[in-house]
Amino acid sequence: MIELGLGRTGAARAGLATALRLNPHFSPTDAPLARNLLASPEVYR
């Protein structure tokens, strides 16, 4: 989330994808948010 806020979209995608790959339920609140962000065009700007 921090990487995305700093405009580092490539790092944000990589970090979120890694977190979800290692543990799809890493956080009850942040895992769904990470999935939504990866599906969002904002992360691919």
For 1-45, the DSSP string reads -HHHHTT-HHHHHHHHHHHHHH-TTS-TTHHHHHHHHHHSGGGG-
Give this prediction's pTM. Answer: 0.77
Mind listing the pLDDT tens digit for each residue in 1-45? 788 889 898 998 999 999 999 999 999 998 999 999 899 887 676
pLDDT at 25: 93
Q: What total of structural domains would you count in the chain?
A: 1
Q: How many CB atoms lie within 10 A of CB 22?
A: 8
Q: Can you give the residue range of the structural domain that contains 29?
A: 2-44
Contacts of 9 (CB under 8 A, 6+ apart): 3, 43, 44, 45
pLDDT at 18: 95
